[in-house]
């Protein structure tokens, strides 16, 4: 039986002794009811995973001693997902699957047809919730890597921060467009993948994306929901980049 896994951010990681606080301490001691002497796994989200023994439990902390440590090699490629904000439940599902499918980062975008608008305190609360969901997904599937979650920004701003030497793809239903495999004519180490909202991108937004180097790709003949398209694209990219 696999050990329970908990998350500890790399900036508070100590090689000899680890301390869980906040939600992770509560989850370990109160929800899963671990006791002193139990062994668990601790991951930092950037490839480091420790097997550790619980040495002390206080009201707000769980103290652990590292027994074994492994550093996982990162994937040989990085996929950055740029999904338009969609309704809450589908978007949260998308975030969970982006963790499972090995996205390097998730960079939400506002578009002309985005129906979800966030700002100020509401934005802060959503970001905190999304990060918790992603951490839980990483723990459940025991992945050693946690995608970086960026602050949502307008499409035009997001496009300005995509490097010219990366592969950039945009799912589309236009006839005579290429598959992802057809675009991989050179070694690829970094991919930016953009997903539209429920009503898809506007023609002006598609034109702007193409001007920034995004190439339309097919995901097949059927129309997919936004969250399904994200999962399909991550799956196809991961398969083709490993081939």
Sequential pLDDT tens for the chain (243 residues):
689 999 999 999 987 789 999 999 999 999 999 999 999 999 999 999 999 999 999 999 999 999 999 999 999 999 999 999 999 999 999 999 999 999 999 999 999 988 877 778 888 899 999 999 999 999 999 999 999 999 999 999 999 999 989 999 999 877 568 899 999 888 889 999 999 998 889 999 999 999 999 999 999 888 899 999 999 999 999 999 987
pTM of the model: 0.92
Residues 136 and 223 in one domain: yes
Look at residues 49, 71, 93 and tell me which one is the last residue of a structural domain: 71
Count of structural domains within the chain: 2
Q: Which residues contact 30 (CB under 8 A, 6 or more apart)?
A: none
Let me know whether 220 and 125 are in one domain: yes
The reply to whether 150 and 43 lie within a common domain is no
- 38: domain CATH number is 2.40.240.20
- The sheet that has 5-7: what strands, in order across it? 5-7, 39-43, 48-57, 62-71, 17-20
Answer with the one of 14, 38, 71 that is the final residue of a domain: 71
Q: Domain of 130: which CATH number? A: 3.40.1280.10
CA count, 13 A, side-chain hemisphere, 122: 5
What is the domain extent for residue 126?
78-242
Residue ending a domain, among 23, 48, 71, is 71
């Amino acid at each position: 039986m696999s050990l329970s896994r908990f998350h500890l951010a790399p900036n508070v990681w100590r090689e000899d002794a680890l301390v869980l606080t906040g939600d992770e301490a509560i989850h370990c001691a109160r929800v899963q009811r671990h006791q002193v002497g139990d062994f668990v796994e601790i991951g930092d989200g950037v490839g480091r995973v420790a097997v550790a023994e619980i040495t002390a439990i206080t009201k707000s902390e769980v103290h652990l001693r590292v027994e074994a440590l492994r550093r996982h090699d990162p994937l040989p490629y990085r996929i950055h997902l740029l999904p338009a904000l969609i309704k809450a439940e589908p978007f949260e599902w998308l975030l969970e699957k982006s963790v499972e499918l090995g996205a390097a980062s998730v960079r939400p975008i506002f578009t002309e047809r985005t129906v979800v608008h966030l700002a100020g305190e509401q934005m802060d609360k959503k970001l905190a919730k999304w990060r918790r969901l992603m951490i839980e997904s990483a723990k459940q599937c025991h992945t050693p890597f946690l995608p970086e979650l960026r602050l949502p920004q307008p499409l035009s701003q997001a496009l300005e921060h995509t490097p010219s030497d990366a592969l950039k793809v945009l799912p589309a239903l236009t006839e005579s467009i290429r598959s992802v495999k057809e675009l991989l004519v050179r070694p690829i180490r970094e991919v930016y993948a953009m997903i539209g909202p429920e009503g898809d991108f506007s023609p002006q937004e598609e034109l702007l994306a193409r001007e920034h180097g995004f190439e339309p790709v097919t995901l097949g003949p059927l129309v997919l929901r936004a969250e399904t398209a994200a999962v399909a694209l991550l799956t196809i990219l991961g398969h083709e980049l490993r081939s």
